[in-house]
Amino acid sequence: MGKGNSKLFDWINMAGFVWLAIIMLLPFLNVITLSLEPAHIAAETGVLHLFPREITFEAYISIWQYGSIQSAFMNSAFITVTGTLLAVLATGMLAYGLSHREITGMRLITYLALLTMVFKTGIMPTYMLVKHLGLIDSLWAVIIPQMLTAFNLILMKVFFEQLPKELSESARMDGCTEMGTFFRIIIPISAPIIATISLFYAVEYWNEYFTAVMFLTSVDKKPLQVLLREILIESVNEGSGADSLNLGKNMKMATAVYAIVPILFVYPFLQKHFTKGILLGAVKG
Amino acid sequence: MKKKRTLFGAIIPLLVIPIIAAGCGSSETNVGQSGESVPPAAHNQSGTGEKPVTENEYPEMDMRYMLRGTDKARSLLDLMEKKVKERWNVNLEIEMVDKNIYEEKLNVAFAAGNQADIVEIGNQSLVAEAIQNGALIPVDDIIQREPWNQMPESFFKTSSVDGKVYGLPQFRSLPETIYYRVDWAEKLNLKLPTTPDELYEFLYAMAKSDPDGDGVDNTYGFTIRPDFNETSAYFQMFLPVHVTNMGLYLDEEEGVIKSSYYLIDDMKAALAWFRRAHAEGVLDPEWILEVQSNSEDKFMTGKTGAWMKGVQWIGPRAAKIKQGNPDAEITSLPIVNGTYGANYATINSSTANVYLTNTSKDTERAKLVLEYLLSPEGTLDMAAGEEGVTFTVENGEIHWLAEGAEQYYNSGLIASIPIDVELPAPDPVLENNMERARGFRLVEDLAPYVSASEAVARRGADIKKVMEEYFSKIIIGDLELDQYDKFVEEVSGDLDAILEEVNAIYVTMN
């Protein structure tokens, strides 16, 4: 291929990706614009709202004034932070164990884990289990059942399998126990996969809605997503309070911004590791 | 290294603070808050006619009330929980569940034996199943007392099995009405319509006479949705009931359930009315893609001159439309008399019932709590609280004392209570709107028979789909009006089977 052709290809490529980026950014821009516009402007149909004609924060303020939004934020933060830490720990420990082929029953446990990818238990058995564990109306009911997912386990297992065996062997020769090897040797060199899995779990926990609705009963235990969904319903529900109906579309969009922005801030910090981690797991797996 | 330590130092508090804070968010805090926000005036009041008692007369017990709904003002819930605690020494927990997931949660809770003591159930099949399994407790003794004994018997029909009543009604059904732009009608000197033709002319003027005065032909008379929800007031100008739910209605003279799909001439007249509106640009051509929020937005922003909604929900809309246009005013059109009488009609029934489950350790006390929750006092407490406690009324206007309560207040909810109660403050917009609907028709509620029909469960959705397709195509002109006969031919097999079964159930149950 000539140099000219290659340049042309680059330009076409770039134009294509810019086009794709615009397509993906427009809905975001639309959501942010609508959330910042006064209700009567946001309600206008047949117009593309990409730049606010007037700016008001009434929708954001109205949502923030919901009685339980602060506690919902704290609950979501607790679920996300605690859940992610514990989930990464549990997944990492199991994956490390399963990456040692010499362990008896390793295959069986791997297959059992894989089985959960194919056959999902319905809500009923999970509910019964949570109930019998006495976790109904506890934030732990949202954290514990999601602490280990087979997909993340496989990713981590594959990553650990690629690490040179000599590392753990030399650690053992230096007197390290398996736990010591795991925490002192393996974890520090596994930043890419830990960042990747953390991101997966964090997004999952942050967005958790169904289990929270099913297992939590107290108003003060509702996580953010449940509350935001309620606010969203309020804005179209005929029996809702005056405020939510008065606002309408801008309030809906503001709830979307509230829901995505906090977790969005995590991405830039993890992106470098995230890409690397995914490639490691995928290419050599 | 120093940078890493700094980062680590920043992360640790981020991890720890939410954990500590979430750990502190127990319900005890709220009880404390409620204690501060509710003055002693609320003490020892009973809306149920029961003699007030002190906490000492009852041993303490927990109780849960689960209902469809969204977050309410904490101060209002605190007030209710405090009253229940003071009167019956019950620690009441009110759980509001997203309506889209409510039934699933209820089902799972019942199956796991973890149902709340008091629950709202909208699904008739679940009610029947729960009663059969002994999971619900009859409340016949409650309905002997006021105000329940003042209600029509039909309000208890959906919650009755074998002569026993199991549920108390939460809301009554009110008709959908056609809201319109009063300022536009006045500007165009329009006479309020009383017949289908007059309504057409009225909407035509809204579309064609530049009611917004911007010199551009950019308005429409009205819009509808392709699922034909919120179109009842138009269809009922020609038909006994709305076309959704297979057009089933009770022919009271013959005592037989029929389908309005078989009233071929009337149905064609209705479709011809819509078809003309579409062809002449009275009906917004985008209606075929309409969703609920869009149709509301179009009315709110002056794209359409009329829109349909429940008569009681006008208040927030009247306020909302003024935000964009302070001169805009809305209310409902008066009743249009059609072939079968008033075009505003609704079922003669309650729309949501609340039941007592067998979970409660003290059934009698649970009944007292249930009675309070659904009494005028309890309903008002949930909607607005108590005068002097959560709000005051000055010069006919509500001033909120409870923080955030105004955010949730909707007088339409109080108007929906099955018992007539006075609003906390006069609401001329709502009252005027309710007046416009005066004289609406009440039709028999067929839900108990329809929900018990397996044929409906099997074939109802298919009929609905075919109906939507044919009706849409006829209205937009893709099919000739005579193609309605083909629609009838197509659905008659399933429809006949449904009518046969539903009528058999009707006979058995009556």
Q: Which of A89, A230, A232 to mutate to test the interface with B (most CBs of B within 10 A)?
A: A230
For the segment B254-295, what is each residue's pLDDT rounded down to a tens digit? 999 999 999 999 999 999 999 999 999 999 999 988 776 788
* Contact residues on chain B for A214, CB-CB shorter than 8 A: 101, 104-105, 108
The predicted pLDDT at position B89 comes to: 94
The pLDDT-based confidence of A118 (bands split at 50, 70, 90) is confident
Dihedral of alpha carbons B488, B494, B500, B506, sign: negative
CA distance A84 to chain B (A): 11
Mean pLDDT over each residue of chain A, to the nearest integer: 85
Query: Which of A215-219, A254-258, B174-178, B450-454 has the largest mean confidence?
Result: B174-178
What residue of B is the nearest CA neighbor of A45?
A: B298
Q: Do B409 and A241 touch (CB under 8 A)?
A: yes
Cβ neighbors of A160 (< 8 A, separation 6 or more) are A95, A96, A99, A186, A190
Nearest to A243 among B21, B71, B407 (CB): B407
* Contact residues on chain B for A221, CB-CB shorter than 8 A: 25
Q: Do B71 and A237 touch (CB under 8 A)?
A: no
Of A200-204, A220-224, A230-234, B191-195, the least confident? A230-234
CA distance A132 to chain B (A): 10
Q: Do B406 and A214 touch (CB under 8 A)?
A: no
Question: What is d(CA A57, CA A51) in angstroms, rounded to the nearest whole number?
Answer: 15
Mean pLDDT of B433-452: 91
Question: What is d(CA B26, CA A218) in angstroms, rounded to the nearest whole number?
Answer: 9
* Contact residues on chain A for B409, CB-CB shorter than 8 A: 241-242
Mean pLDDT over each residue of chain B, to the nearest integer: 85
Tell me which of B72 and B465 has the higher pLDDT: B465
Nearest to A248 among B29, B99, B320 (CB): B320
Q: Do A77 and B325 touch (CB under 8 A)?
A: no
Q: Do A226 and B64 touch (CB under 8 A)?
A: no
CA distance A95 to chain B (A): 24
Counting one residue from A and one from B, how many pairs have CB atoms under 8 Å apart?
168
For residue B424, cis peptide bond before it (omega within 30 degrees of 0):
no
The predicted pLDDT at position B125 comes to: 79
What residue of B is the nearest CA neighbor of A42?
A: B297
Q: Do B15 and A233 touch (CB under 8 A)?
A: no
Q: Which of A220, A249, A250, A269 to mutate to test the interface with B (most CBs of B within 10 A)?
A: A220
Of A35-39, A230-234, B480-484, B502-506, the least confident? A230-234
At B119 the three-state DSSP class reads strand
Q: Do A217 and B66 touch (CB under 8 A)?
A: yes
Q: Name residue B168's beta-bridge partners.
A: B354
Of B307-316, B365-374, B401-410, B467-476, the least confident? B401-410
What residue of B is the nearest CA neighbor of A241?
A: B408
Mean pLDDT of B427-455: 92
The pLDDT-based confidence of B296 (bands split at 50, 70, 90) is confident
Of A270-274, B9-13, B92-96, B150-154, the least confident? B9-13
pLDDT at B126 over 60: yes
Quick check: A242 contacting B, CB < 8 Å? yes
> Looking at this predicted complex, what is its ipTM?
0.74
Q: Do A75 and B22 touch (CB under 8 A)?
A: yes
What residue of B is the nearest CA neighbor of A222?
A: B71
At A6 the three-state DSSP class reads helix
At B278 the three-state DSSP class reads helix
The predicted pLDDT at position B25 comes to: 32
pLDDT at B216 over 70: yes
Q: List the helix and strand counts (H, then E) for chain B.
A: 19, 19
pLDDT at A32 over 80: yes
CA distance B184 to chain A (A): 18
CA distance B295 to chain A (A): 9
What percentage of chain A reaches a pLDDT higher than 70? 89
CA distance B117 to chain A (A): 13
At B89 the three-state DSSP class reads coil
Question: What is d(CA B411, CA A90) in angstroms, rounded to the nearest whole number?
Answer: 52
Q: Do B105 and A214 touch (CB under 8 A)?
A: yes
DSSP B371-438: HHHHSHHHHHHHHT--BTTTEEEETTEEEE-STTGGGT--HHHHHTSSS----SS--HHHHHHHHHTT
For the segment B143-156, what is each residue's pLDDT rounded down to a tens digit? 999 888 888 888 88
Q: How many CB atoms lie within 10 A of CB A134?
A: 10
At A238 the three-state DSSP class reads coil
Q: Which of B179, B296, B301, B391 to mutate to test the interface with A (most CBs of A within 10 A)?
A: B301
For the segment B314-352, what is each residue's pLDDT rounded down to a tens digit? 988 898 888 878 999 999 999 999 999 999 999 888 777
What residue of A is the nearest CA neighbor of B295?
A: A45
Nearest to B293 among A127, A241, A249 (CB): A249
Output the six-digit token pair for A275.
Answer: 């890409």
For the segment A146-180, what is each residue's pLDDT rounded down to a tens digit? 899 999 999 999 999 888 888 888 888 888 888 88
* Contact residues on chain A for B223, CB-CB shorter than 8 A: none
Q: Is A60 exposed, middle or buried, given 0-12, 13-18 or 19+ CB atoms closer than 10 A?
A: middle
* Contact residues on chain A for B304, CB-CB shorter than 8 A: none
